[in-house]
Amino acid sequence: MVINAHSCVVVRLARQSLEIDDDLWQLFLKKLVDVYGSAYASKKKEAINEAIKMWLDIKEEQRRGASESEELRKLVEDREISPAVLKLLGKNETMIPVGLESKIVAEVLKARMC
């Protein structure tokens, strides 16, 4: 994006050519018609931009997940968290204070028995 001296915003769009699998393209066009009632160029552009943004978001989330997994592995190696607690609670609930593991394990087991 470029802003000129008159405070007008000029947006530069990239024009790219790429090859897409024929069957995938046909599914894409069919879905455009299903969703929008047409497959006009503006709708294609909008949908492709959305797809690229979603792909980028997914890849960023995967990168973050890999980073978190590495942090969890390090916690287990440094004996800051028990592998049994990690397995029992799962990745999303592993930041627990050292020394409270037995209490938390008991609470999790109680919840799972109910």
Global pTM reads 0.50
CA 47 to each of CA 9, 51, 74: distance values in angstroms, whole numbers, following the listed order = 24, 6, 41
pLDDT mean over 65-87 = 71
53 band by pLDDT with thresholds 50, 70 and 90: very high
Q: What are the backbone dihedrals phi and psi of residue 2, each rounded to the nearest 5 degrees, phi first?
A: -125, 135
Decide if pLDDT at 73 tops 70: yes
Q: What are the backbone dihedrals phi and psi of residue 9, each rounded to the nearest 5 degrees, phi first?
A: -95, 125
What are 2-36's pLDDT values in tens digits? Answer: 555 555 666 677 788 888 899 999 999 999 999 88
**Chain-centre distance for alpha carbon 88:** 24
Q: Can you name the residues that pair with 10 across neighbouring β-strands?
A: 2
